[in-house]
Amino acid sequence: MRTVGVEEELLLVDPESGEPRASAAAVLARASLVDPGQDVFEKELYGQMLEFATHPQADMAELGEEIVRCRKEAARLAGELGCAVVALASSPLPVSPSISVNPRYQWLAEQYGIATREQLVCGCHVHVAVESDEEGVAVLDRIRPWLPVLVAISGNSPFWQGNDTGYSSYRSRVWARWPSAGPVELFRTGERYHRLVADMVATGVILDEGMAYFDARLAQRYPTVEIRVADVCLRAGTAVLVATLARALVETAAREWRAGREPVDHGVGLQRLAGWRAARSGLGGELLDPGTMRPRAAAAVLESLLAHTRDALDGSGDLAAVEDGVERLLRRGSGADEQRELLEGSGSLRDVVTGCVQRTQE
């Protein structure tokens, strides 16, 4: 069974006003004081963000339990300092991000200017184990068409600087400002993958291979494929759904590779359009079908995703849970839908944040 690990970025906010607070350094210091050897929570680009990483898990129920524990521990540490944590991929309220003190982050600020100063967005990265770089690259080539569907499932960033953007995942549009972000061409071999990354670093536009911000890539530190397209999900259950589908996509792609099936070679231009469509519409409209790249109802595309990964989900024992999770998600809506419902009910973006603080812990 392939193991899965999840990295989540959470927003630190004032529990009363809902405004982001640059308290990450204090929260991390508190975490180290309580547990000097802790390796769960990490500093991020901005002082208003806190990141945690789960351990690799083979059982999705155990992964979900760990995500909930990490969220609750983050909330406890932040609460001791008068803050709250919330799983929002962008701040509904206006914010002036505070860049953390770090030579790498200062380099980003100097290199990319305003794009760095406007990047306060929170994502969810899913690591799925692979056996080798060759298998990993084969997987990257074959999961490309399906990644926008994960954007639609996770969409949780409808607001930006106090305004409704009209998007389900505006985070993904902000993230696309990085010069190395987004979909890439087919790699075919591990050698070609590493050569492209080396050539990108040699341009001087990016600092190192860690800044190859592809939608999915080979992880640097772990023998995994790292899928980087998702918003941080409002509810832990949605994060587990994204992680479970990610593992199923990886397993399905690896089986296709071993069977000699060629990847679908949609061009980068079409992949970008599919990503934009998913970010804009979320689950409430049409997506581009991964097979045909033509418009199709989001619910029908999710059915295609389930059909594509059914054997892998059945083999891991996750099929019933995923079917139930997809049905519940379509009925309730995405995090973006829930945020808009909160605003409609109260008329206050502050109440949107405080309502989402509660949902983050559920």
In the chain, domain spans: 4-345
Q: pTM of the predicted model, to two decimals?
A: 0.97
pLDDT value of position 305: 98
The model's confidence at residue 10, banded by pLDDT at 50, 70 and 90, is very high
Provide the β-strand partners of residue 216.
227
CA-CA distance, 239 to 246, in Å (whole number)? 10
Q: What angle do CA 97, 171, 339 make, to 5 degrees?
A: 95
The pLDDT, as a whole number, for residue 133 is 97
Q: Over 80: is that where the pLDDT of 38 sits?
A: no
**pLDDT tens-digit series, residues 137-181:** 999 999 999 999 999 999 999 999 999 999 999 999 999 999 999
Nearest to 184 by CA among 286, 275, 261: 275
What percentage of residues in the chain have a pLDDT greater than 90? 96
Predicted confidence at residue 361, as pLDDT, reads: 87
The Cα-based distances of 264 to 42, 130, 143, 253, 353 in angstroms read 37, 20, 9, 11, 41
pLDDT digits (tens, 9 = 90+) for 276-317: 999 999 999 999 999 999 999 999 999 999 999 999 999 999
Tens-place pLDDT, residues 61-116: 999 999 999 999 999 999 999 999 999 999 999 999 999 989 999 999 999 999 99
Report the chain's mean pLDDT, rounded to a whole number.
97
Number of Cβ atoms within 10 Å of the Cβ of 65? 15
Query: What burial class does residue 332 get, using C-beta atoms within 10 Å of its C-beta: 0-12 exposed, 13-18 middle, 19+ buried?
Result: middle
Q: Give the CATH class of 4-345.
A: alpha beta
3-state secondary structure of 11: strand
Q: Which residues pair with 176 in a beta bridge?
A: none
Q: What is the pLDDT of residue 132?
A: 97
Alpha helices by DSSP H, the chain = 24-34, 60-79, 103-112, 114-117, 133-143, 147-154, 170-175, 190-202, 236-258, 268-281, 298-316, 319-332, 335-346, 349-360
